[in-house]
Structure 1
Amino acid sequence: MEPRINLMTTGGKAVKALSSVGAYLAKASVEASLLHLIYFRVSQINGCAFCLDMHAKDARAEGETEQRLHMIAGWREAIVYTDRERAAFAWAEALTTIHQHEVPDAVYEELRNHFSEEEIVDLTIAVTTINSYNRINIAFRTPGGHYQPGMFAAKAN
Structure 2
Amino acid sequence: MSKRVVISEVQPQAYEVMFGFEKYLEKSNLDASLKELIKIRVSQINGCAFCINMHTKDARKMGETEQRIYALNAWRETSFFTELEKAVLALAEEMTFINKGVSEQTYNTIAKLMDEVTLSQTIMAIITINAWNRIAITTHQQPVLDK
**If the length of structure 1 is used for normalisation, what is the TM-score?**
0.89
The aligned runs of 1:1-157 (5 Å cut-off) are: 1-99=1-99, 101-145=100-144
Structure 1 vs Structure 2 CA RMSD: 1.3
> Going by fraction, where is helix more abundant, 1 or 2?
2
> 5+ unaligned residues in a row in structure 1: which ranges?
148-157
Report the CA distance between 1:137 and its aligned residue: 0.7
Whether the 8 Å CA contact 2:110–2:119 is kept in 1: the answer is: yes
- Partner amino acid, structure 2, of 1:62: M
Relative to structure 1, the CA distance from residue 3 to residue 80 in structure 2 (aligned partners, 3 Å threshold; closer, same or farther) is farther
Q: Which has the higher contact order (CA 8 A, sep 6+)?
A: 1
> 5+ unaligned residues in a row in structure 2: which ranges?
none
Distance in 2 of aligned mates of 1:10 and 1:57: 28
**If the length of structure 2 is used for normalisation, what is the TM-score?**
0.94
Distance in 1 of aligned mates of 2:28 and 2:145: 28
- Partner amino acid, structure 2, of 1:65: T
Relative to structure 1, the CA distance from residue 7 to residue 146 in structure 2 (aligned partners, 3 Å threshold; closer, same or farther) is farther
Question: How many corresponding residue pairs?
Answer: 146
Distance in 1 of aligned mates of 2:101 and 2:61: 35
Whether the 8 Å CA contact 1:51–1:134 is kept in 2: the answer is: yes
